[in-house]
Chains A and B, each alone.
Chain A
Amino acid sequence: MQQRDFLAQLDRLGIHTQEALDRFMGNEALFLSFIRQLPEKLDFSGIRRGLDEEDEDTFYMNVHNLKGMAGNLSIGPIYDCAQAILVEFRASKFQNKKKLTELTREAETASEAIAELVRQYLAEEGTV
């Protein structure tokens, strides 16, 4: 997979690559170095644990960090989900757990597609 194709496929999965590259001041290599880490970084275990145990700090910080990473890398679908989770959580903490769970699942689904694409790219690059 050529790098251009990879970036195009990231766009199709909702990552605004040009917006992210602008944020990285055009440093494509640096941007891609963080994209390569996504299969590892898109880890929802902390969020699920916080939700299951109703641990406010764990849940909040993990969603907060997810939102920050998604925002910096312009991963639209995950950013939107994380933002919606935080808005709901600030308003009602764990009272609407069903909604928090659904939003988390939605973000996780989007993450899995992106992580799979990145793994595929890394495998073809020979860096896995």
Chain B
Amino acid sequence: MIRDTLLIIDDSELDLAILNEIFKGLFRVECVAESRRGLTYLHHNMERVCAVLLDICLERRGAGFTVLHQLQGNPDTASLPVILITTDANEKDVRASVERGAVDFLVKPVDPHTVQERVCSIVRATWPPKSTILDHKPEPETPKAPEPAPDLVQIFPQGLPLAAAQLLCRDCTDKLGTFYRLRPSLDMDAHRQLGGITTLLAQCYAEHFPEQEPTQEEAELMGLAATFCDIGLLGIPDHILEEGEDQDGPDAQLYYQHT
């Protein structure tokens, strides 16, 4: 399971609101105002939590240290990085934080970008690569404006590995198959066969002429690409497509433009 959660324990609604805004783009943020709820949450979600941000003055002075002590004393949570939050960076509290096992402390009012960097740095240093959400960018919550459709050079850039091309081809073929099912005059099986035949011919050529292009890998790529020949037919209205080659005028022009 990917660790994706930042647990924040702070009895200030304002602190929680700010920290949630700062970190919600990076983590799944869980805000709790009471230490007991925080410990309960940890008990049930230990594998998801990347780090804990803990207010030193939870309801009373120094109460955060009590919670820190409980976390450190429990083998299940002892390895969890705990970052203390304080309003006062006085020497006594800082020293106490370090001695009691906190990995860092943040001083309020926080600077958003500084605390983002520090918390992310701690999370990356604590957990193995690829095991936290920081290495797996989440889908954006708010929809973005659609990007312009990439052209074929972007879809199939030079040097695309065969494995990646096969995956891409499989996805595109599935989508193409869906479109073709809605167009009775189009036959997806014929396209698949065309791709297969192209692959065989290209591979045969590569085998007999190894010093020349294409290579075996390129031959397979050619076959994958051949599946999508005449994909332009999807851009033609049904009535023109059904008429086929035997038509005149602008409809014929449109037909041949896409085939």
Contacts and interface: CB of A to CB of B under 8 A. Distances in A.
Interface stretch (A6-14, A21-29, A103-111, A118-126): A21-29
A29 B57 CA distance: 28
Nearest to A70: B109
A23 B88 contact: no
- Please report whether the interface of chain A is mostly helix, strand, loop or mixed according to DSSP: helix
B88 A86 contact: yes
B49 to A, nearest CB: 22
Interface stretch (B9-17, B140-148, B182-190, B250-258): B9-17
Given A23-B110, A57-B61, A67-B87, A30 B17 contact: yes
Given A25-B21, A64-B87, A69 B14 contact: yes
A39 interface: no
Interface residues of B, number: 18
A65 B15 CA distance: 11
A23 B18 contact: yes
B22 interface: yes
Given A23-B110, A61-B61, A74-B109, A68 B90 contact: no
A72 B14 contact: yes
B179 to A, nearest CB: 42
- Please report whether the interface of chain B is mostly helix, strand, loop or mixed according to DSSP: loop
B108 interface: yes
Interface residues of A, number: 21
B60 interface: yes
Contacts, number: 50
B237 interface: no
Nearest to A82: B87
Contacts of B110: 23
Contact of A72 (B18, B57, B88, B90): B18
A72 B57 CA distance: 16
B57 A64 contact: yes
A50 interface: no
B112 interface: yes
Nearest to B10: A68
Contacts of B61: 57, 60-61, 64
B139 to A, nearest CB: 19
Contacts of B87: 64, 67-68, 71
B208 to A, nearest CB: 63
Contacts of A65: 12
Interface string A41-85: 000000000000000010011001101110111100000000000
Interface in B59-93: 60-61, 87-88, 90
Contacts of A73: 14
B232 to A, nearest CB: 45
Nearest to B107: A71
A86 B112 CA distance: 25
Interface of A: 22-25, 27, 30, 34, 57, 60-61, 64-65, 67-69, 71-74, 86, 90
27 contacts: A23-B22, A23-B109, A23-B110, A23-B111, A23-B112, A25-B112, A27-B21, A30-B17, A30-B21, A61-B57, A61-B60, A64-B57, A64-B61, A64-B87, A64-B88, A67-B87, A68-B108, A69-B12, A69-B14, A71-B87, A71-B108, A71-B109, A72-B14, A72-B15, A72-B109, A86-B88, A90-B90
